[in-house]
Amino acid sequence: MTTKQPSEYNLSTKDVYSRQSIYGFQLAPNCDKFSFVSQYDKRTTEVNASGHPRMKDSALADLFLLPTKGGFPQPITSSGDINAPAVWAPDGNNLAIKSQGGLDVLDVLNGQRKTIFKGELYEPPVDLGDEYLGYPRWSPDGFWLAIVTFDPPKSTLRLVSKDGHTSRELFSLDGYFISWDWSPDSKKILLVTRSEDGWVGDIRVVDVSSGDISIFWAEENYEYKKPVAIWALQGDKIIFRSNRSGWSKLWRASFDGSQIQPLTVGGWDDAAFRLSPDGKEIVFASQQNQRMGGSDLWLLSLENGEQKRLTSQDGANIPIAWSTDGQIYYWHSSPTERGDLWTISLSDRQVGQLTYSTSLELRSKLRAPEEVTITEDDGTKIPCLVYLPAYFQEEQRYPAIVWIRGGPTGICRYDFAPYYNWLANQGYVVITPNYRGSVGFGVSHMKAVSGDGLGKNDLKDVLAAGEYLKSLSYVDLSRGIGVGGRSWGGYLTLMAITHAPEKFSCAVAGAAIADWRIQQSQTEVRYYDRWLIGGWVYEQAQRAVERSPISNLDQIKAPLFVFHGEEDRDVPFAQIENFVKKAQQVDIQLEYKFYTGEGHSNKKQENQTDVLERTKVFFRRHLQPWDFRDNPSSGQVQYI
């Protein structure tokens, strides 16, 4: 018998979808403090198109300073209009701040703030630890700030002077910038670019004076681990990350493209990296010897190639900064910790925690997942995470759900993921597979979902996860197994119940692809969908029909709940609207909810709460055993 009631472990909507966070830690030049952003929720009133007031949920942010030797954070802005971290000028007296209106420079000494550029700045989608390479970047001489603007399909690298009096366009292309970094002498900028098709790009060097551009590295498979590049302190070498070997690895080369050599090798990914103050070593995040998708800090000598492991904390450990006194600052998060700033001393390996963002109450409701690997009949290995209720007891039996994350080029990490804990704490065993298409397990694993593998290899892996659940002694199979997911997870959910209708007893699909012909013609990420299906839908007409759940809609036997934002531009709403209309014409037990004003994911707290409640009631009604005390539909709202 359980010792506590499950309600004591319930996670709230804010626990699951919290926008309250700290991020963007930037070390001051004298290494005595960090600037960082604290984001928080705020509800405001706005007037809609009909002239009626309505509540709007939004996320605002303020800028703080944190002493590196310990102490309380001190606010330096409180307007809430910050939407990206501040970046220190080389003199340590000024901060460049990306605000909602453009780019400002704040004088830390007197508090004066001046707008030097008006317009929307572009922030590239990069991995944790690489964000700083996409912020406004000061030139080492402190005169220029390099920024990027984006006017589809063109991206433009611009230089703006510190006083805002001078601005010029340096380089434009049809595509995207991933990162940019100044040479030590302020004469060149190192650019990582991405083509308009999203899957190839280059590393380029731009001469600031002449505008001349040279290319020394061509990169493919951008979606696996987005490459970044920095200058070595000597100014004639470049250190970069590439997927060329089939894994994400660190490389070094001369800026003219010669003397290219790998710095790290092995069948695992190496991620974010930082250069030591003297330029002789690198600290980098590596998945070597870590839990699934996690990373530890490793030290690499650029002189002799020697490597040393620095941390052994389960979860993600990402380098943030390296101070002149031998302290390495890093971000640590785990399945029971949101993420905080930590430090490790190179002299004695002592670690310390500088921020605390996860309450003890929340941690008590979280249980770290178990790692399993499913080996399929053809030898394919599928890494998975299994989440159990926080109050799990081996002598009890629990219904089970396969919950499929979005992507497909994502990863289920051994990291903070409260949604899975929320679902497990409703009384379920939850498995989430890193199906083919996932990153973190080699480029070949990711590419297995493209072309003919779409909706086939990944679906096979999802079905294997369902079969694995049946082998667990603590799983209650009396009412079958549930399946669910959002985005690509929603697509695979619909594929599962249309192509393997006997495997699952109920299903929840959010923001799901239902018809590839509508999907590819209307999505704003067409380059991505073209790669997935292996061409344009008119070129792959048969595949587009075969891999569209709507084509086999009449095969559905399981009760189904679908939800979708009416303003979704990633997975256009038109296809699920059509799916529902056709489902109503056949004998399908269907519930649905469309959210007005929401995009690919719900942003308003009341809609987030609504989805959680509907999902909870749906699975409770179709998977949980009933008794004489609990009405599984109590509190259920009318589905429309």
Classified as helix, coil or strand, 619 is helix
pLDDT 10s digits, 50-59: 454 444 555 6
Whole-number Å distance between alpha carbons of 248 and 445: 13
Residue 477 shares a structural domain with residue 614: yes
Residue 145 shares a structural domain with residue 222: yes
Q: Rounded to a whole number, what is the distance in angstroms from the first to the last CA of the chain?
A: 39
Query: In which domain, by residue range, is 498 found?
Result: 367-516+549-623
Sign of CA dihedral 462, 468, 474, 479: positive
pLDDT at 128: 86
Q: Which residues make beta-bridge pairs with 179? A: 192
Whole-number Å distance between alpha carbons of 619 and 125: 34
Maximum average pLDDT range among 38-52, 90-104, 460-474, 616-630: 460-474
Q: Which whole number is the average pLDDT over 359-382?
A: 95
Which helix (H) or strand (E) is 483 found in, with range?
strand 481-486
Contact 439, 446 (CB under 8 A): yes
- Give 39's pLDDT tier (boundaries 50, 70, 90): confident
pLDDT surpassing 90 at residue 179: yes
Residue 126 shares a structural domain with residue 212: yes
Residue 167 shares a structural domain with residue 216: yes
Q: Which of 302, 336, 364 is the last residue of a domain?
A: 364
pLDDT surpassing 70 at residue 80: no
Q: Which residues make beta-bridge pairs with 204? A: 191, 215
Q: Does residue 104 lie within any of the structural domains?
A: no
pLDDT 10s digits, 423-456: 999 999 999 999 999 999 999 999 999 999 999 9
Residue 440 shares a structural domain with residue 474: yes
pLDDT at 1: 36
Residue 354 shares a structural domain with residue 396: no
Residue 570: CB atoms within 10 A of its CB come to 18
Whole-number Å distance between alpha carbons of 233 and 231: 6
Q: Does residue 640 lie within any of the structural domains?
A: no
pLDDT at 42: 59
- Give 81's pLDDT tier (boundaries 50, 70, 90): low
Residue 213 shares a structural domain with residue 298: no
Question: What are φ and ψ of residue 219, in 5° steps?
Answer: -120, 135
Question: What are φ and ψ of residue 396, in 5° steps?
Answer: -90, 160
- Per DSSP bridges, beta strands 351-353 and 381-387 are unpaired
Amino acid found at 444 = S
Q: Does residue 101 lie within any of the structural domains?
A: no
- C-alpha distances out from residue 73 to 19, 36, 79, 359, Å: 19, 9, 17, 18
pLDDT at 55: 44
- C-alpha distances out from residue 376 to 291, 304, 452, 463, Å: 21, 42, 19, 10
- Give 399's pLDDT tier (boundaries 50, 70, 90): very high
Does the bond joining 433 to the residue before it have cis omega, within 30 degrees of 0?
no
- The whole-chain average pLDDT of the chain stands at 90
- C-alpha distances out from residue 16 to 131, 403, 424, 501, 604, Å: 24, 15, 12, 30, 13
Residue matched to tokens 């400002």: 104
Q: What percent of the chain has pLDDT over 90?
A: 75
Calculated CA dihedral for residues 376, 378, 380, 381, nearest 10 degrees: 40
Instruction: Report residue 272 CA to chain centroid gap.
Output: 14
Whole-number Å distance between alpha carbons of 7 and 89: 50
Q: Does residue 108 lie within any of the structural domains?
A: no
CATH number at residue 373: 3.40.50.1820
Whole-number Å distance between alpha carbons of 350 and 327: 10
Residue 485 shares a structural domain with residue 581: yes
Residue 245: CB atoms within 10 A of its CB come to 15
Residue 214 shares a structural domain with residue 286: no
Which helix (H) or strand (E) is 309 found in, with range?
strand 307-309
Q: Does residue 327 lie within any of the structural domains?
A: yes
Q: Which of 199, 232, 267 is the last residue of a domain?
A: 267
Contacting residues for 179 by C-beta, under 8 A, at least 6 apart: 124, 126, 130, 133, 134, 191, 192, 228, 229
Classified as helix, coil or strand, 495 is helix
The per-residue b/e assignment along 184-195, b for 16 or more CB within 10 angstroms, e otherwise, is eebebbbbbbbb
pLDDT at 146: 96
pLDDT at 482: 98
Indicate left, alpha or beta for 189 from its phi (over 0: left) and psi (-120 to 50: alpha).
beta
- Selection from 616, 600, 481, 526 nearest residue 152 by Cα: 526
pLDDT 10s digits, 622-638: 999 887 777 666 444 44
pLDDT 10s digits, 545-574: 999 999 999 999 999 999 999 999 999 999
Q: Does residue 83 lie within any of the structural domains?
A: no
pLDDT 10s digits, 182-218: 999 999 999 999 988 778 889 999 999 998 988 888 8
Q: Which whole number is the average pLDDT over 130-158?
A: 93
Give 218-262 as a DSSP string.
EEE-TTTS---EEE-TTSSEEEEEE-TTSS-EEEEEETTS-S-EE
Q: Does residue 572 lie within any of the structural domains?
A: yes
Residue 318 shares a structural domain with residue 432: no
Contact 297, 331 (CB under 8 A): no
| The token pair that represents 169 in the structure block | 């366009």
Whole-number Å distance between alpha carbons of 188 and 185: 8
Does the bond joining 408 to the residue before it have cis omega, within 30 degrees of 0?
yes
Decide: residue 409, CB within 10 A, 0-12 exposed, 13-18 middle, 19+ buried.
buried
Question: What are φ and ψ of residue 580, in 5° steps?
Answer: -65, -45
| The token pair that represents 456 in the structure block | 């086939």
Contact 189, 181 (CB under 8 A): yes
Decide: residue 530, CB within 10 A, 0-12 exposed, 13-18 middle, 19+ buried.
buried
Q: Does residue 306 lie within any of the structural domains?
A: yes
Number of domains in the chain: 3
Classified as helix, coil or strand, 8 is helix
pLDDT surpassing 90 at residue 370: yes
The per-residue b/e assignment along 322-341, b for 16 or more CB within 10 angstroms, e otherwise, is bbeeebbbbbbbbbbbbbbb
Classified as helix, coil or strand, 472 is coil
pLDDT 10s digits, 247-262: 999 999 987 777 899 9
Q: Which residues make beta-bridge pairs with 113? A: 106
Residue 403 shares a structural domain with residue 337: no
Residue 282 shares a structural domain with residue 316: yes
pLDDT surpassing 70 at residue 324: yes
Q: Which whole number is the average pLDDT over 115-143?
A: 91
pLDDT surpassing 60 at residue 147: yes
